[in-house]
Amino acid sequence: MFNDVILDSEWQGDMKWQRLINYIQPLEGRRVLDVGAGNGYFSLRMAMEGAEFVLG
């Protein structure tokens, strides 16, 4: 759950996020196209990291 948003996420999605975040920082002010967004887990995380706009 993130800020009262519940996502039906695959198991250990946070572990995948921790591997990805170092390659895509900084996200502040960036516009992001999340191709293959699935349930939107990474889209939400990118928005929470400060992306200006996320489409997924």
Cα 45 off chain centre by: 3
Torsion angle (degrees, nearest 10) of CA 19, 50, 48, 40: -70
Between 25 and 38, whose confidence is greater?
A: 25
Q: Is the pLDDT assigned to residue 2 strictly greater than 90?
A: no
Q: Is the pLDDT assigned to residue 51 strictly greater than 60?
A: yes
Q: What is the mean pLDDT of residues 35-52?
A: 92
Q: Taking a C-beta distance cutoff of 8 angstroms, is the pair 51, 31 a contact?
A: yes
Between 12 and 41, whose confidence is greater?
A: 41
**Cis ω before 26 (30° cut-off from 0):** yes
Nearest-5° angle of CA 24, CA 20, CA 22?
A: 55
pLDDT of residue 8: 66
- Report pLDDT digits (tens) over 7-37: 666 667 888 899 999 999 999 999 999 998 8
